[in-house]
Amino acid sequence: MARAAVGFKRVVALTGAGISAESGIPTFRDPEGFWQKHRPEELASPQGFRMNPKLVWDWYLSRAEAMKQANPNPGHLALALLQDCFEQVAVITQNVDGLHEAAGSRDVVEIHGSLKKARCTSCSLVFPLDKAGKTPDGLPACPECGRLARPDVVWFGEMIPEEALQRAFDLSASAQLFFVVGTSAVVHPAALLPSVASRAGALIVEVNPEETPVSSMARFVFRNRAGQAMPVIQEELCEAAKAQ
């Protein structure tokens, strides 16, 4: 695989919950995943939040707490190390856990938002979750106007913020090497990005223990966990880059 990428300058990775699985964070659709136990329309939709903001906040606050204890794993670290070997390395992630940045990745597009931030439902101020006040019901509140805040994440039925989406499409269209790591690739528009990259001529590499809709367009497929496959791939790519 490394030989096919010699001379490449632009690397992009699209990542999903699978890359954080080895950091102890459950995925969504695997047998132990969140969506086996919870209903996405109750916990991850604007309607669910309107119906029961406490239920939604309880879930997001418990995830935010769990993520504080989580550390980047060798999969995240390998992607960060690729920055030493290629001119441009960007990560487009559907994850809200901040582990790519914690691993040292400098160019991360969080297309589904971040669990570290909240947004006011009234004045739209975006602020760090740990700066939130409290509503009379004890839910996170805007530090400016005191109204109810919501997690600053993208829910089902909501649009990805324009700037992040545009960047994700631009990066995908100009990538030479495009990794798809730990995502079931079924949630749009993220699921479209591998085909954008493929149509523009990128070499697609999938890392996932399971088959996905991306598998058929990937030139190389590693049916392995990200924490095992990515360090080996990174070392081979960096050795080949140094040797040229």
The footprint of ligand OAD (CB under 6 A) covers: 16-19, 21-22, 27-30, 33, 40, 44, 94, 112, 154-156, 182-184, 187, 207-210, 212, 225-226
Count the neighbouring beta carbons within 10 Å of the beta carbon of residue 58. 13
Q: How far is the CB of 203 from ligand OAD (least distance, A)?
A: 19
Nearest to 70 by CA among 33, 98, 94: 98
Amino acid letter for position 228: Q
Amino acid letter for position 196: V
Count the neighbouring beta carbons within 10 Å of the beta carbon of residue 61. 16
Q: How far is the CB of 228 from ligand OAD (least distance, A)?
A: 8
Nearest to 121 by CA among 137, 138, 145: 145
Closest to ligand OAD by CB, 13 vs 141, is 13
Active-site residue, 112 included = yes
Closest to ligand OAD by CB, 141 vs 193, is 193
Closest to ligand OAD by CB, 29 vs 167, is 29
Q: How far is the CB of 160 from ligand OAD (least distance, A)?
A: 10
Buried b / exposed e along 8-20 (16+ C-beta atoms within 10 A): bebbbbbbbbbbb
Closest to ligand OAD by CB, 16 vs 53, is 16
Catalytic residue among 76, 100, 112, 188: 112
Q: Is 78 exposed, middle or buried (0-12, 13-18, 19+ CB in 10 A)?
A: buried
Closest to ligand OAD by CB, 33 vs 146, is 33
According to DSSP, residue 148 is labeled B
Q: How far is the CB of 33 from ligand OAD (least distance, A)?
A: 5
Q: How far is the CB of 132 from ligand OAD (least distance, A)?
A: 20
Nearest to 87 by CA among 241, 244, 205: 241
How many angstroms separate the Cα of 91 from the Cα of each of 28, 40, 62, 88, 195? Answer: 20, 25, 26, 10, 16
Catalytic positions: 112
